[in-house]
Structures are given as C-alpha cells and as structure tokens.
Chain A
Amino acid sequence: MKKTSGKKIIFVVIKYAVVLLITISMVVPFIWMLSASFKTNLEVFEFPIRWIAETTLENYTNVWDVANYPRMFLNTVKLTVIITVLQILTSTLAAYAFSKIYFPERNVLFLTYLATLMVPYQVVMIPQFSIIRQMGLTNTHLALIMIQAFTPMGVFLIKQFFE
C-alpha cells in the first residue's frame, strides 16, 4: 500500500481550508439575508448577530400585501425579454457583416467596436445619464432598452461562431 507523505497531507489540508474559507465568505451574506428577512427592523442591527431570531413572518406577509410585487416582477420580465430579443437581433446582424462581408477597413472598425469593451462603465455612466435626461427619457423603460440594445460582447461571440 502506498503511503501518503506528510507533505501531501498538509497540502490537501491547506487546499481544503482555502476552499472552505471562500465558500463561507460567499454563503454567509446569503444566510445573513435569510435570517434578516425573519427579523423586525430593530433586530437586524443587534450586535452579536442572532442567526435565528424569534421568527416573524410579518415581512413576508407585507411583501405579499403592501408591495406592488407582481407589477415590479412583470416590469423586470418585460425588460429582460425585450432587451434579450433586441440584443440577439442586432448582434447577429452586425456579426454577419463583420464575418462574411468584405468592406474596407473592416478589421479596424471591428477592433474599435471591441475597444469600447475596455472602457469601464463608470466612465460612461454620468454622460449617459445626462444624455438620457436631455432626451426626456428618464423614468421610462425606453431608456433602459435603448441603452442595452447593443452589445459589443454579443457581436464578438457570434462573430466567432460564424467564422
């Protein structure tokens, strides 16, 4: 029988410890949220956190009764569906042109388009907001749809698929 050396065992222990640590750091906020959802507002900030408080279902009944929950969810679904359909449409059209049709400076144009991926969103955010405000589209779904209807990432992926 092969004997595992001490070095190997230590390595495995360290590996599992790191994995466990990462797992805990991801799961704890979720459990925190779960426990907070059963608490009253005062209990949320108690200092040694009691993970299991005296459960009140008040929050959940409030969500059901007070909040406009189905309406909000419908808004979310509406936006996701419309944006996804538009993105697929625009991405496939652009990707087809970039991969099958030869026109002058095609690659340069494609690279410039891809370069917009490298601009962090925080840079664009405030100009984007003021443009949308000047168009009078704040507080509308159209603004969200128009901003997200085009994506360089999608064009890139589908272009790779076409080639």
Chain B
Amino acid sequence: MDRSKRLGKTALCDHTESETGYVLRDDYVHHQFFPGIHPNLCNDKRRTGKSSQCVLVLKIYEDAFVNYKFGYASAEAMILFLLILIVTLIQFYHNKKMEA
C-alpha cells in the first residue's frame, strides 16, 4: 500500500527529496527521530505554501534550536519581552484606574 495513502490525507505528507523518502511535514516528533530533517514550520513558506500560521514563541524556538541562529533568536526574544512588558504595564494602569 502506498505510504502516503496509509498516512491519511496527502496534506500530511510532503514529497521531498531525502533518503527516507517521505517526510512528515507537520510533526516535531519526526524531527526528534531524524534530526537532519528540519520541519521548519515558520520559516519555509515555499513548502507549507500558506501564509504563516506560526506563533511567535514557536518561531523563536525554531530560529534558535532548528536553524541555530542564536543571536537572531535572542533579539526576537528580547522584542517579545518588551511587547509583553508593554501589555502588562497597560493592564496595571487599567487595573489601578478601575480600583480608584
């Protein structure tokens, strides 16, 4: 039986050139078993074919530990920290106003 059929919908499989034949595009589980094959959910528009569904934290993880761009990922994390700080400060300000 064809492997792509066995795995369900074709969207789940990606026919890429690799020694193992088919690559499951959507799981990090696979990345654990075959560390050479990077799923790259966030940074690969060509393969996923749609505008990114990715969440910020996943992108930071991927940049750091899949693509090994540590400095870049740190910068992203710092900006995320600042954004969260801003949101928190707004919330604090709002809460104080509600109490008064």
Is A79 engaged at the interface, CB distance under 8 Å to the other chain? yes
Question: Could you say which residues of chain B place their CB within 8 Å of the CB of A24?
Answer: none
**Given the complex of chains A and B, what is the CA–CA distance between A68 and B48 in angstroms?**
15
**Given the complex of chains A and B, what is the CA–CA distance between A38 and B70 in angstroms?**
10
CB within 8 Å of B: which of A32-79?
Answer: 33-34, 36-41, 43-45, 58-60, 62-63, 67-69, 71-73, 75-76, 79
Interface size on A, residues (CB 8 A): 35
Using CB atoms, name the residue of chain A closest to B7: A133
**Given the complex of chains A and B, what is the CA–CA distance between A41 and B74 in angstroms?**
11
Is A162 engaged at the interface, CB distance under 8 Å to the other chain? no
Contact segment of A97-105, A115-123, A136-144, A147-155? A136-144
Say which size band chain B's interface belongs to: 20 to 34
Question: Could you say which residues of chain A place their CB within 8 Å of the CB of B42?
Answer: 68, 72
| 5 nearest A-B residue pairs (beta carbon) | A59-B75, A37-B74, A138-B26, A36-B74, A37-B75
Show 17 A/B contacts (Cβ-Cβ < 8 Å), sorted by A: A37-B71, A41-B70, A62-B72, A63-B79, A71-B51, A72-B42, A72-B54, A72-B55, A72-B56, A75-B54, A79-B55, A126-B29, A133-B8, A136-B9, A139-B25, A139-B41, A139-B48
